[in-house]
Amino acid sequence: MYVADDNLTTTTATGDDKITSAEAATLGSKFDSIYPVETGLLGYEYGGDSSKTSTYGGYDADPKICIFVYDLFNDSATTIASRSGTLGFFWSKDEYDAESFTADGVAYKSNQAEMFYIDSAFTDDYPEYIYSTLAHEFQHMIQYNKKVKEQNLNASGTTWYNEMMSMMTEEVIGKKLGFNESGLPWNARASLLAGCYDWYGLTDFSSTISYSIAYGFGTYLLHNYGGAALLAAMESNDTVGTASVLSAVNSVNSSSYTFADLAKTYGKALLFGVKGSSYNLPSGIPTFYSDTCSSSTYPLATNHNIESVSNYLAGLGQVQYATNQYYEVPSGAKGITIYPLSYTFALPAYTSSVFSDDSWQNINADGSGDGNFSVTLTKPSSSNVSMYLVVR
């Protein structure tokens, strides 16, 4: 464990974006508890497997992981609201033999060690998030070894998959070790997921919102298709991205799903997978909280009720989606955003969007009229788009 001199302090006050030696020791202790559990499930980082004597110890000939804590992206110089939001990162450039090297015309320096980086400001203010981040960044390190070092797979364009797996790992390892729920990814990601679930496709990765979308899909996979066994199968198979997800889902479940199948049932989970719902739902509706894929070894979180999540867009006022076109989510609204019928946009791949109209609500609720109601649908012009009329 290393802490930059500028970010080390002897005082215990929060808000100074520095940590004490005791806090650094706590981080080390947390990671020591994570290491055997995570490697037992997912496998080892480069140099971590003692049975491989030729590489044991890795690039620095030391089986311990280096964790360097400092002020990432100058967060301490800004207000909390304007911070970069980067809690930590793993960078594979440190796993090069040469101290300095050039790749694609860019010069790099390698620390020649298995290491990742943690932000001092967030460690100071939000330690529970950082404990979970340790498991997150370690998954990146393990995946780099399993997919790139050992199998020479091309992982370009699969950031969504790698980040999704790190957040799935946070949930599985965090629940196993009893980490505080406040630091686990549902607490951090669910509000953005509810508000912006369809802003990017499941296989896109463009912004902070993409983390929430990736985790929403990842926790849905965990709770419906195999739990920790599914996560382990994704890490160990010989593919990445959608191919890895499908290989793992179908091998664990003895099924033959397509990725489109998974995306469609994920849409059902967003709309109907609500805990304690009064709706008379058909059986088999996927949820984010089912414990049928839990095990005594690796339990899953059961507090994932999308209907009770505060919608990120609620209270922001009007949100512009096109020239002179706006929609608004009512202040205090919970659950996923449901758009007005006038809302038009390019639907990202593997994404579901939900629309409704005030005139469709509470039909004949006051006893007047005969309860009849007519809706006319126009079939999408693209065969790649499916439309459903949902009545609840």
Dihedral angle sign, alpha carbons of residues 239, 243, 244, 248: negative
The reported pLDDT for the residue numbered 38 is 97
| Domain match, 132 and 197 both | no
| Domain match, 90 and 197 both | no
Does 170 map to a domain?
no
Does 173 map to a domain?
no
| Domain match, 205 and 301 both | yes
| Domain match, 187 and 68 both | no
| Domain match, 355 and 280 both | yes
Structure tokens at 195: 């508000």
Structure tokens at 259: 């990725």
The reported pLDDT for the residue numbered 13 is 76
The reported pLDDT for the residue numbered 375 is 87
Does 174 map to a domain?
no
Kindly tell me if the per-residue pLDDT of 292 is higher than 90: no
Cα(352)–Cα(216) distance, integer angstroms: 13
Report CA 245 to chain centroid distance, whole Å.
14
Angle between helices 227-236 and 241-253 (to 10 degrees): 130
Cα(303)–Cα(29) distance, integer angstroms: 27
Longest CA–CA separation in the chain, Å: 81
Structure tokens at 236: 């160990």
| Domain match, 131 and 220 both | no
Q: 70 in helix, strand or coil?
A: strand
Does 169 map to a domain?
no
Does 171 map to a domain?
no
Dihedral angle sign, alpha carbons of residues 93, 96, 100, 103: negative
Kindly tell me if the per-residue pLDDT of 78 is higher than 80: no
| Domain match, 118 and 221 both | no
Kindly tell me if the per-residue pLDDT of 36 is higher than 70: yes
The reported pLDDT for the residue numbered 178 is 95
Residue 36, CA distances (Å) to 40, 45, 127 in order: 6, 12, 21
Other CB atoms within 10 Å distance of the CB of residue 340? 13
Does 314 map to a domain?
yes
Kindly tell me if the per-residue pLDDT of 284 is higher than 90: no
Of all residues in the chain, the percent with pLDDT exceeding 70 is: 93
Chain mean pLDDT for the chain: 90
Answer yes or no: are the C-beta atoms of 192 and 306 closer than 8 Å.
Answer: no
Kindly tell me if the per-residue pLDDT of 236 is higher than 90: yes
| Domain match, 146 and 103 both | yes
Write a three-state SS string for 212-237: HHHHHHHHHHHHHHCHHHHHHHHHHC
Task: Write the pLDDT tens digit of every residue in 254-276.
Answer: 999 999 999 999 999 998 876 65
| Domain match, 97 and 196 both | no
Does 322 map to a domain?
yes
When divided into structural domains, the chain yields a total of 2
Residue type, 72: L
Does 175 map to a domain?
no
Cβ neighbourhood burial of 73 (10 Å; 0-12, 13-18, 19+)? middle
Domain ranges, residue 236: 158-164+180-392
For residue 58, give the DSSP letter.
G
Task: Write the pLDDT tens digit of every residue in 315-361.
Answer: 787 777 667 777 788 889 999 999 888 888 888 999 999 999 888 88
The reported pLDDT for the residue numbered 81 is 55
Cβ neighbourhood burial of 9 (10 Å; 0-12, 13-18, 19+)? middle
Q: 121-144 burial string, b = 16+ CB within 10 Å, else e?
A: bbbbbbbbbbbbbbbbbbbbbbbb
| Domain match, 221 and 335 both | yes
Q: 364 in helix, strand or coil?
A: coil
Of 132, 152, 172, the residue at which a domain comes to its end is: 152
Kindly tell me if the per-residue pLDDT of 14 is higher than 80: no
| Domain match, 83 and 184 both | no
Answer yes or no: are the C-beta atoms of 199 and 209 closer than 8 Å.
Answer: yes
Task: Write the pLDDT tens digit of every residue in 181-223.
Answer: 999 999 999 999 999 999 999 999 998 999 999 999 999 999 9
| Domain match, 234 and 379 both | yes
Greater model confidence, 6 or 83: 6
